[in-house]
Structure 1
Amino acid sequence: VANRGDLPDEYRVPVFQAVLKTGTEADFRSLKEAFKKVPANVDERHIMSAIGFAEDLKLKEEALSWSISGEIKIQDFFFIMGSVSVSSAKGLDMAWSFLQKNVEEIRTMLKTASPSLMDAVISYCAGGFCSAAKAQEVEKFFEAKPFPQNRRKIANVLEEIRANASFLERMLGTDIVKDEFWASLAA
């Protein structure tokens, strides 16, 4: 943060992610503290796009809570959810659970905001799954907690989950699941 030129913009997010993935709680705290001091919105976005990569699940949970704490601009809060969800399979599950538990608070936060913000939340918190069972779970959730202005995004996410599930199922029926296939490539 002291000298932005030391690390070009296009490398910041992956470097921050790698540091957090292999780092300590102190690294997480340092990056979170840097958020308060960075001079530009793009620098804040870099931090928000990386903060969820902390390996410790408690820190991922803290990052998710931070996203709706009021400390993050409403037009940016979903970037933190996105960083948690893409950090790992556990991160995706955590982001989805977080949305389920906090959906009414998020709905209240966004009541006068553009529907595109909720679209981003839905996409980040539910869009990475690849099983028919998870598609059904997501569908039932949004039937019980409707977001009429986000119907199209919900439909797109469900279609994506089902397509991913179908592709995974097809791939699991091929030789790529066998060690011999991969060994033959190295030969």
Structure 2
Amino acid sequence: MARQFEQALADLTGAKHAIVCANGTTALHLACLGLKIETGDLGLTSPITFLSSANCVEFCGGRSDFIDIDMASLSLSPEKLELYCETVAIPKVVIPVDFAGVAADLPTIYALSKKYGFYVIEDAAHSIGTTYKDDSGIAYQCGSCAHTDAAIFSFHPVKTITTGEGGGCFNK
């Protein structure tokens, strides 16, 4: 049953791989482990999130910091992210958080990841079934990993789709 659910999630998102786990926190931790986040690594995320978006980096021995939000998406601001990279430090991983069914500006954040050399994990706990568009107007499913290195869903009772509890981790 779990393998069928994983395949259905991969089919829904378009991600190459999906694995289900205990919860969204575990999914974020798995994504960090998969990207080899370790002691001394810096992770950046949005301040409007559940604590797991920051703690997943800490669980791996890294440290977390926050990037202010973009008022349109309520996710981390790509402009503030670039300013942080230019003036403070370049992170190992950035974890944009989709909020209330609105996707972060993943194409812009992903372009910054290529410019500065960091990984991107989409925290799509709030956006199962949501799509976003790139600059050319092509639509992508949240969780697809089209503009990220990994993505996660949460199936907590307050999320879009629930299994009572649970999470999913996706990659290319």
TM-score by length of 2: 0.30
TM-score by length of 1: 0.29
Higher RCO (CA-CA < 8 Å; seq separation 6+): 2
Q: Which has the larger radius of gyration?
A: 1
Structure richer in helix, relative to its length: 1
